[in-house]
Each structure stands twice: as C-alpha cells, then as structure tokens.
C-alpha cells in the first residue's frame, strides 16, 4: 500500500477557473451542445484541475482528490447505488443506471415529475439533492462513475460521500411506512459500498476518501449515529479486497463518533482542527494516519502559520511515532474561489490578507515541509504570516469595528394584533399573492449593467434602462393579478453583493465564484472592516416602482444574517458584532423606505438555518444573536408597516423557535420540493403570524400546473387560516426565464383564486 501523502487537500473547486463546468452543462440543457461535446468539456475541466494542483506542488500519489461532480456529490453516489425515485424508473437502463441526461433530469425535474428535494449542506451555502429511499429501494452498485473518475490519471484519490452520511441525509420516499427511516437500510447501503471498494481495488486504486460530515452534527440522535458508524466501518474496514480508507469528519469535531472509527481497521482519519480542537482522546488513533485539517477550507483569510504549525507539533507529540500526521485543509476547498492572484482590481493591501484555494494549497505544502524538515525550513513563511495578520489588525478600517451597546427597545415592535389592525388598510384579503422579490435577469439587463460598469453606458441611460425594466415587471404583475408587487430587482447583480457594494467595510471580487448548487455559482463578498451605510441604497428604485401602481409595493432588503452567511466574514471579531453592524445599516434603510411611502418591507433571511451550529450546545447562542440582529434591523418602523421575511431550504422544524422570534408579520418559506412538509411543525408550534409556504419550485425549469399548486394550497389551508396564508413561489425568480415565469405565476394566481372560491 502506498503511504498516505504528507500534504493534501480534501477537495477543490469543481466549477473550473472560469466556470467552464457551468457553461458546459447549461449549453447542453439549452440544446446548444451535444452530450458528447459536453462530456468532453467536463473532462477538460477535470484535467485542468489535475494539472493545476500538480503544478502547485501536490505531486505525491493520492494527494490530488478526484472529487468532480456531475451536479452534486450526494446525488452522485445515490445514483451510483441505484437510489432513484420510482417516478423516474423509466429513465433507468436495464442495469439500473442513469445516463448523464437522465441523471440531470432527476436533479432538475421534468413535466409533472418534480426533482429531488434540495437543502443546505450542513452549515454552508452549498445545496445538495436529498435522496429518497424506501423499504423496497433496490440498493446496489449500478454505475462505475467513481471508478472511471478515479482512474483518469494515476494516483488520484476518489472522494465519496460516506455511507452513514448518505443514509442520514436521505429521506423516506413517498409511501414508505411511517416508522421507516433510510438508516434502516444501512446494511444494504454498506453492502453496496463494499462492492464499490472492491471495484476500486480491482482498478488499482490504493486510497479512497469517505466524507462523513454527518458524524459531527447533532441533527440526528447521537446514539443512532454512533451505532451506525461502528457497524458501517467494522464491515468496510474488515473487507479483504479494498483500498486504504480515509474517513473525514469535516465541519466540526467528531466527538463520540471518534472511538468507533478508531476501533475499526480503516487506515486514516481526517480531523477538522479549525472548527474543532485536538480531541482529548486523540491517543486512541495511535497506529493510524491522522489527516490534520489545520488550514480553513471555509474562509479566505491567510492562515496563522505559527499557530497551525504549533498545533501540528502538539498533535504529533501526543500521537507518537506510530501515527503519521498529514497536513490538510479542514474541509473541501469547494467553498472558496480558485485564486486570489486573479483579483487585480482589488485593494492591494486587502489582497495580501487573503488565501483562496490555490494559496491554501501553498499553505498546506509549507506546513508539511516544516513537519518534514523542521521549523527553520519555513521560518520565513511563518514570520510573513504573522506580519500580515498584524498589519491587518492595525488597519484603520478594521479597528473601527466596535458596535455601541444597543438598547433592547431597539429590537422590539408593537404586539402582532396591534400591527394587524394597523395594516388593515393595505386591503389584503384571504390568500394574498406575491412573489419573493427578484424577476428574471434577462440578457438585456446584464448587458446594460456590464456596459454601465465599463463606462460605455451613461448613468442617465442606465437609470432609464432599469426604470423601463421595473415598469415592465410592475405591468406584468398587474396583468397577472398579483396582490402585493415587487420591483423585480433589475438593478441588482446579486442579493448580497448589491448591498456589499453600497456599504463601507465590504469588498467584492471579479473572479471569486463558488458553487451554490448544480451549475449555479455565487460570488461571495468580503466583509473585512467596520460596516456603515454610505446613503440610501434601494429607496429610489422602490419609490419609483410604487409610483406605478396603487397596489402595495414591497421594499426588498437582504437581512444581516444572510449577508454574513453569503460573504466571507472577518474572523477577528465575533459574528454577533458583525451582524449588529450590518443590522444598524439596514435599520437606516428600512426607515428611509417607510418615509418614502413603502408600506411593506421584506428583509430576507434565507440563510438563517445555514449558520446554525451543528452541535446542539452551540445553537442557543447563535439563535439569540441572529434573531436579535434581525429585530434590530426591522424594529424601527410603525405598526402600519408590514415586515416580511423569507427563508430558503431552512428545515423549518429545526429552527421554528428562531423563526418565530424574528417577529416578522409574514414569513415565506420553501415548501414546494418537500411537498409542504413545513405544515407539521407550523401546526405543532402554533405559529400565529402570516406565513407563505412556497407552492412553486423556482429551482426547476418546470411550469407547475394550476392543479399541482392548488393541491399544495389545499394542504396548507387545512392547517393555516386563509387570512394568514400567503401564496408565493419558493424563492426569487432571477435564475428563471420569462417563458417559465409568466405561465407559472398565472397558474399560481389561478390556484389561489380557486381555493378562495371553494375552500
């Protein structure tokens, strides 16, 4: 067996340096490329990644991870094991496999067949597809995709979501017995993994990485998680014909899942030493390779190499000579952009503070060299990292970061009943219809924005173009019969970046793309200093839109927690402090919207669930400061101003107390893909304010029928009184086209009309 490499990463950005992955698959979906051309383009992205990582210095066998995906890593392994919803059985080949076209069809849905549900990957902004398992799902290895990718070049380490995490992240398929859980099928899942490991060994692969982030979370009962871990790895570790196994527990400490892994015969264990610490019982790993995740895979600040090297030294001393220590990132680098050196337009001093994926590879290699040759070999690099962090801490824009103590009175509004009475003159009846905010970002809009940014379109002409688009969107909503309108956000490039560009303390990137889900990418902003509002941001656009209609027009803002979650946030002060800074800036904007005559203000918090700590003991503190930040942003208005919020893929039942604590007048939430699963926790909790469970999944190109949305609404009215029940899509519409949006919204309005007339 080849020795595990001294330096490695747990994964790398999968989208290509210039989003070649996105361009290739979307060209195929749009009919502009053949499947053969698309597969060749995706192979080229993988080859580019291997060449880049080798050039950066990852040259040891199995130091480069083979972690490319066709859409999502969870769906990759689920489809490879034949875990395909019954509604798509006709797409399967005789052996049970899916070709690439069918694989994408299940991910995106088609006709009257909805896609797999999508939700957040642990506490990140990545979305994964939720497999559906029933007692009779035929779970077996049906696809050699993992083997093919691992053997594209010598010495690649395949990366696969582990069996326990796959079982825990899956959901019971429709029609499964009420007491069934996918974990009941763990033995069958493990048997299929055993076949996969044998196939890898037969192909000459000597190391495989099994990612088990579910082991660090309290989302599931710990006893069941630990028992499943013990069972799965006793079996897989005991196989005679298999590669050596690295099990990785990213996003937090493994805790009580560590002993069963240590007791198994697996060869290596990866520890997240950024979110966790060296375990007190680390000595139980003696004899195994310990892959030490000391370089942050989630954020973009340069590492403190002095601190990291010290931690590596302590780990090595506690383990002894029988346990090699390999240096690694704490998580896959899929969460960060490719290369900070491409950001030529960034403030030069700020750029020296940052490390994107390529720079993190360099940090890993530096630390590994220090372990091999002694601290003196990397003394210069350590001194430079200390100097950079000191210079950053002394920067005036960073040092001005304190937030004054905010009185509790600034975080509360009048009682909900008083607000309802004050809002009666909005004229909203039963089942009011609205959208979440954005409308399609057409090519014309993007070209106008690009021309304005390049200086080839004047301010006046850009303003005229955006006003024309706003007028078009308002007219469309009037024609469709929506009750509460939006201006469509034509002027916004992104719901976070737009605000970052108008707030002090933020910077944006030119090439800093990361994968959000499937082919969708986002460009997180960088919160590096003290946050202040320079002046009104959205007010004039909202004022103009309201002037075009007598119906209520929503002012649209992104909430403080989401701005933090979808940015790279400074790591030198508590998140709660940064959240209050952003909230105070938004509070000024909300007040200005109200003064401009906007009676409905939506402050979106789609990422509220995303930052929820994975360990239960850490959750109360997070919920407290995140709720307080939202209320600080929204509590400065009159009772007659209706405050909305929106949450995406939030697993409502896990944070319903926090959502209730936001005290918004109306909360809209994703519900279409999960087919109204949110209704049960709503009913159990007694949620008493307005709520809009989405009836239209905007992440799929389908046009849902009137009957489909009517059925969803009828489920909802069985739980929520119609005057509190809002009718809306799951999310904003910017990623869709008008050819889908217009008929979908027309069907949504008609579904609401039918339910109103015949409850």
Task: Give the per-residue pLDDT at 402.
Answer: 66
Q: Is 407 domain-assigned?
A: no
Task: Give the per-residue pLDDT at 1.
Answer: 77
> Both tokens of residue 399?
């040092």
What is the secondary structure of 570-588 as a DSSP string? -SSS-HHHHHHHHHHHHHH
Same domain, 289 and 189: yes
318: exposed, middle or buried (C-beta count within 10 Å: 0-12, 13-18, 19+)?
Answer: middle
Same domain, 525 and 436: yes
- The rounded Cα 476 to chain-centroid distance in angstroms is 31
Same domain, 377 and 442: no
CATH of the domain at 538: 3.20.20.210
> Both tokens of residue 502?
């108008």
**Cα distance between residue 234 and residue 214, in whole Å:** 18
Q: What is the mean pLDDT of residues 555-577?
A: 95
Same domain, 527 and 490: yes
- Residue spans of alpha helices (H) in 423-531: 443-454, 459-480, 497-500
Same domain, 617 and 524: yes
Condensed to tens digits (0 to 9), the pLDDT of residues 121-152 reads 999 989 999 999 999 999 999 999 999 999 99
Condensed to tens digits (0 to 9), the pLDDT of residues 329-362 reads 999 999 999 999 999 999 999 999 999 999 999 9
Condensed to tens digits (0 to 9), the pLDDT of residues 40-78 reads 999 999 999 999 999 999 999 999 999 999 999 999 999
Q: Which pLDDT band holds residue 567 (cuts at 50, 70, 90)?
A: very high
Same domain, 625 and 687: yes
- How would you classify residue 16: left for phi > 0, otherwise alpha for psi between -120 and 50, otherwise beta? left
Task: Give the per-residue pLDDT at 401.
Answer: 62
Please give the tally of structural domains in the chain.
2
DSSP E strand stretches across 476-566: 503-507, 514-517, 520-522, 525-533, 554-558
Q: Is 744 domain-assigned?
A: yes
Q: What is the mean pLDDT of residues 509-528?
A: 96
Same domain, 227 and 295: yes
Place of tokens 């902003």: 525
Task: Give the largest Cα separation in the chain, rounded.
Answer: 79
pLDDT at 98 over 90: yes
Q: Which of 119-133, 642-656, 681-695 has the lowest mean pLDDT?
A: 642-656
CB 637 within 8 A of CB 594: yes
Same domain, 553 and 422: yes
Same domain, 482 and 566: yes
> What amino acid positions are annotated as catalytic residues?
699
Q: Which pLDDT band holds residue 650 (cuts at 50, 70, 90)?
A: low
> Both tokens of residue 569?
């946030």
Condensed to tens digits (0 to 9), the pLDDT of residues 579-629 reads 999 999 999 999 999 999 999 999 999 888 888 899 999 999 999 999 999
Same domain, 516 and 638: yes
Q: What is the mean pLDDT of residues 474-498?
A: 96
Give the count of beta carbons closer than 10 Å to the beta carbon of residue 121. 21
Task: Give the per-residue pLDDT at 651.
Answer: 64
Positive or negative CA dihedral for 669, 672, 673, 679? positive
Same domain, 464 and 516: yes
Q: Is 675 domain-assigned?
A: yes
Range of the domain at 704: 418-757
pLDDT at 698 over 90: no
Q: What is the pTM of this model?
A: 0.91
């Amino acid at each position: 067996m080849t020795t595990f490499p001294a330096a490695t990463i747990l994964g790398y950005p999968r989208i290509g340096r210039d989003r070649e992955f996105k361009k290739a698959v979307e060209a195929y979906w749009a009919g502009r490329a053949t499947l053969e051309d698309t597969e060749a383009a995706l192979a080229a992205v993988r080859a580019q990644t291997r060449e880049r990582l080798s050039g950066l210095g990852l040259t040891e066998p199995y130091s480069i991870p083979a972690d490319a995906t066709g859409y999502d890593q969870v769906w990759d392994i689920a489809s490879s094991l034949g875990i395909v919803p019954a509604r798509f059985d006709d797409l399967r080949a005789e052996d049970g496999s899916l070709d690439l076209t069918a694989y994408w069809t299940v991910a995106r849905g088609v006709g009257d067949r909805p896609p797999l549900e999508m939700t957040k990957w642990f506490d990140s902004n990545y979305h994964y597809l939720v497999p559906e398992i029933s007692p009779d799902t035929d779970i077996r290895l049906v696809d050699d995709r993992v083997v093919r990718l691992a053997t594209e070049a010598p010495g690649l380490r395949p990366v696969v979501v582990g069996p326990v995490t796959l079982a825990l992240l899956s959901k019971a398929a429709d029609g499964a017995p009420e007491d069934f859980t996918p974990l009941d099928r763990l033995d069958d899942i493990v048997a299929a993994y055993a076949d996969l490991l044998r196939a890898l060994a037969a192909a000459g692969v000597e190391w495989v990485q099994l990612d088990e982030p579910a082991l660090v979370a309290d989302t599931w009962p710990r006893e069941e998680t630990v028992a499943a871990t013990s069972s799965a790895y006793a079996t897989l570790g005991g196989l005679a014909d298999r590669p050596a196994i690295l099990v990785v527990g990213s996003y937090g400490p493994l805790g009580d899942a560590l002993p069963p892994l240590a007791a198994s015969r697996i060869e290596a264990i990866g520890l997240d030493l950024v979110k966790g610490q060296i375990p007190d019982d680390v000595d139980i790993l003696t004899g195994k390779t310990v892959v030490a995740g000391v370089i942050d895979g989630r954020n973009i600040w340069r590492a403190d190499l002095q601190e990291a090297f010290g931690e590596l030294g302590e780990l090595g001393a506690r383990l002894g000579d029988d346990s090699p220590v390999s240096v690694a990132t704490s998580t896959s680098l899929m969460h960060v952009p490719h290369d900070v050196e491409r950001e030529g337009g960034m403030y030069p001093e700020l750029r020296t503070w940052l490390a994107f994926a390529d720079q993190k590879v360099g940090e890993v290699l530096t630390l590994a060299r220090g372990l091999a040759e002694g601290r003196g070999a990397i003394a210069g690099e350590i001194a430079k990292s200390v100097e950079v962090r000191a210079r950053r801490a002394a920067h005036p824009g960073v040092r001005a970061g304190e937030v004054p103590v905010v009185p509790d009175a600034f975080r509360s509004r009048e009682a909900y009943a008083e607000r309802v009475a004050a809002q009666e003159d909005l004229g909203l009846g039963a089942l009011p219809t609205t959208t979440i905010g954005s409308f399609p970002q057409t090519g014309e809009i993007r070209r106008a924005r690009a021309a304005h940014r390049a200086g080839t379109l004047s301010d006046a002409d850009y303003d005229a173009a955006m006003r024309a688009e706003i007028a078009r969107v308002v007219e469309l909503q009037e024609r469709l019969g929506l009750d509460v309108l939006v201006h469509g956000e034509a002027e916004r490039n992104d719901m976070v970046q737009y605000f970052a560009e108008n707030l002090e303390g933020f910077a944006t990137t030119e090439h800093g793309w990361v994968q959000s889900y499937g082919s969708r990418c986002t460009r997180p902003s960088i919160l590096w200093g003290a946050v202040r509002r320079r002046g009104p941001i959205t007010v004039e656009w909202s004022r103009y839109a309201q002037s075009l209609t007598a119906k209520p027009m929503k002012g649209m803002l992104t909430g403080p927690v989401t701005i933090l979650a979808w940015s790279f946030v400074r790591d030198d002060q508590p998140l709660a402090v940064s959240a209050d800074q952003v909230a105070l800036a938004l509070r000024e904007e909300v007040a200005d919207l109200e003064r401009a005559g906007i009676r409905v203000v939506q402050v979106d918090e789609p990422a509220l669930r995303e930052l929820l700590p994975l360990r239960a003991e850490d959750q109360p503190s997070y919920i407290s400061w995140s709720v307080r930040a939202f209320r600080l942003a929204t509590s400065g208005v009159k009772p007659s101003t209706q405050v909305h919020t929106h949450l995406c893929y939030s697993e409502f039942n896990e944070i319903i107390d926090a959502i209730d604590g936001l005290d918004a007048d109306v909360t809209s939430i994703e519900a279409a893909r999960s087919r109204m699963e949110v209704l049960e926790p709503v009913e159990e909790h007694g949620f008493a304010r307005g709520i809009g469970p989405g009836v239209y999944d905007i992440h799929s190109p389908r046009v849902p029928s009137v009957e489909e949305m009517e059925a969803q609404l009828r489920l909802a009215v069985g739980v929520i009184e119609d005057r509190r029940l809002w009718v809306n899509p799951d999310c904003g519409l910017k990623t869709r086209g008008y050819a889908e949006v217009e008929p979908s919204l027309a069907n949504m309005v008609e579904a609401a009309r039918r339910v109103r007339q015949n409850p």
